[in-house]
């Protein structure tokens, strides 16, 4: 089904009304209503199979073949980052970043912003996993997206690299202020990065939580543990399973 796309006022980046998606007769998204204001950093949590990627793909307009209904509006300029960098192995890093765009200077600047200055002529297989994700972020940035959709972008990285990438993503957001919808399994990642956290549960938004703490946030901030507990409770994780 082709998403219904129309231009929104500047104050709302994404609007979903009654968004429904089903696979083989099974309803995965069950009439979701959601507004994401322009420039808001939103994380989407939920159990495996709860429909997070289905929701993200719908917003990205990448689900033309699925069964569904509802109204969906999203900005014109949307970039998507996935768990794997999806760099084309036969193109050098700068060419990957520029793919489908022009303006070499912008590409170089984007690579410098993500800490990859000097790696423009490297091949993707010469990059570490973290560097490849940096390049993927540069590729998304160069398009100056109004909305950045990220599906577990750090899920395959080791813990230390992930922490560095969190800082980088937040820094890039501060500078460019796109709206962000970040799909993650990681409650702490959501709490440290996002200003609003949604929990997807049985096809609906089960919890919509505003995280009202300044940035940069420390993983050890005791005030964040209150948010963690509410999120874990919404996810059905009891103390015994933490
Ligand atoms: N193209 C498809 N065809 C059939 N079933 C699908 C398709 N895409 C998703 N599903 C099903 O929809 C459900 C939700 O999948 P989705 O990938 O959105 O979940 P998720 O919350 O992102 O999971 P995970 O955290 O494990 O990535 C799953 O049961 C999945 O098998």
**How sure is the predictor about 226, in pLDDT bands with cuts at 50, 70 and 90?**
very high
Burial of 122 (0-12, 13-18, 19+ CB in 10 A): middle
ipTM: 0.97
- With respect to residue 36, please indicate whether it lies within any of the assigned structural domains: no
Query: What is the per-residue pLDDT for 4?
Result: 43
- With respect to residue 103, please indicate whether it lies within any of the assigned structural domains: yes
Number of domains in the chain: 1
For residue range 120-175, list pLDDT tens digits in order.
Answer: 999 999 999 999 999 999 999 999 999 999 999 999 999 999 999 999 999 999 99
Indicate whether residue 50 lines ligand 1 (CB < 6 A): yes
Does residue 216 have a cis peptide bond before it, meaning omega lies within 30 degrees of 0?
A: yes
What are the two backbone dihedrals, phi and then psi, of residue 39, each rounded to the nearest 5 degrees?
85, 5
What are the two backbone dihedrals, phi and then psi, of residue 213, each rounded to the nearest 5 degrees?
-130, 145
Q: Do residues 37 and 12 make contact, with C-beta atoms less than 8 angstroms apart?
A: yes
- With respect to residue 209, please indicate whether it lies within any of the assigned structural domains: no
Residue 43 Cα to chain centre, angstroms: 7
What residues contact residue 6 under an 8 Å CB cut-off, 6+ apart? 73
Indicate whether residue 23 lines ligand 1 (CB < 6 A): yes
Average pLDDT over residues 70-93: 95
Atom of ligand 1 nearest to the CA of 152: 27
- With respect to residue 60, please indicate whether it lies within any of the assigned structural domains: no
Give the Cα separation of 48 and 55 in Å (integer): 13
- With respect to residue 77, please indicate whether it lies within any of the assigned structural domains: no
Give the Cα separation of 54 and 99 in Å (integer): 26
Helical (H) or strand (E) element with 150: strand 147-151
Query: What is the per-residue pLDDT for 121?
Result: 97
For a pocket test of ligand 1, which of 25, 47, 54 has the largest count of ligand atoms closer than 8 A to its C-beta? 54
Query: What is the per-residue pLDDT for 219?
Result: 81
Atom of ligand 1 nearest to the CA of 54: 18
What are the two backbone dihedrals, phi and then psi, of residue 43, each rounded to the nearest 5 degrees?
-110, 145
Q: Is 84 helix (H, G, I), strand (E, B) or coil?
A: coil
In angstroms, what is the span from residue 207 Cα to ligand 1's centroid? 20
Average pLDDT over residues 59-78: 90
In angstroms, what is the span from residue 62 Cα to ligand 1's centroid? 14
Place of tokens 């590409």: 107
Distances (CA, A) of 183 to 51, 83, 89: 10, 10, 26
Indicate whether residue 52 lines ligand 1 (CB < 6 A): yes
- With respect to residue 95, please indicate whether it lies within any of the assigned structural domains: yes
| 183: β partners | 44, 151
Query: What is the per-residue pLDDT for 1?
Result: 40
What's the predicted TM-score (pTM) here?
0.92
Give the Cα separation of 200 and 204 in Å (integer): 6
- With respect to residue 109, please indicate whether it lies within any of the assigned structural domains: yes
Indicate whether residue 219 lines ligand 1 (CB < 6 A): no
In angstroms, what is the span from residue 49 Cα to ligand 1's centroid? 5
In 7-113, the DSSP E strands lie at 12-23, 26-37, 41-46, 67-73, 78-81
Give the Cα separation of 81 and 108 in Å (integer): 19
Give the Cα separation of 47 and 228 in Å (integer): 15
Query: What is the per-residue pLDDT for 100?
Result: 83
For residue range 33-55, list pLDDT tens digits in order.
Answer: 999 999 999 999 999 999 999 99
Indicate whether residue 3 lines ligand 1 (CB < 6 A): no
For residue range 85-125, list pLDDT tens digits in order.
Answer: 999 999 999 999 999 888 899 999 999 999 999 999 999 99
What residues contact residue 47 under an 8 Å CB cut-off, 6+ apart? 201, 235, 236
- With respect to residue 140, please indicate whether it lies within any of the assigned structural domains: yes
Range of the domain at 94: 87-144
């Amino acid at each position: 089904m082709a998403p219904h796309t129309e231009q929104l006022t500047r104050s709302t980046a994404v609007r979903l009304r009654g968004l429904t998606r089903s696979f083989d007769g099974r309803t995965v998204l069950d009439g979701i209503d959601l507004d994401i204001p322009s420039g808001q950093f939103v994380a989407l949590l939920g159990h495996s199979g709860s429909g997070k990627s289905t929701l993200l793909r719908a917003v990205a307009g990448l689900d033309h073949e699925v069964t569904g209904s509802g109204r969906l509006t999203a900005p014109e300029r949307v970039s998507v980052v996935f768990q794997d960098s999806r760099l084309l192995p036969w193109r050098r890093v700068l060419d990957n970043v520029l793919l489908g765009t022009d303006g070499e200077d912008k590409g170089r600047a984007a690579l410098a912003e993500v800490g990859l200055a000097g790696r423009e002529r490297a091949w993707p297989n010469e990059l570490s996993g973290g560097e490849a994700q940096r390049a993927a972020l540069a590729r998304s940035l160069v398009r100056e997206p109004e909305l950045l959709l990220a599906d577990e972008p750090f899920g395959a990285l080791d813990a230390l690299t992930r922490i560095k990438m969190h800082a980088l993503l937040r820094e890039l957001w501060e500078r460019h202020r796109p709206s962000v919808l970040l799909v993650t399994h990681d409650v702490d990642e959501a709490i440290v990065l996002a200003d609003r956290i949604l929990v997807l549960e049985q096809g609906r938004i089960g919890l919509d939580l505003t995280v009202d703490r300044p940035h940069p946030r420390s993983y050890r901030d005791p005030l964040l543990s209150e948010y963690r507990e509410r999120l874990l409770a919404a996810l059905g994780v009891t103390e015994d399973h933490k």
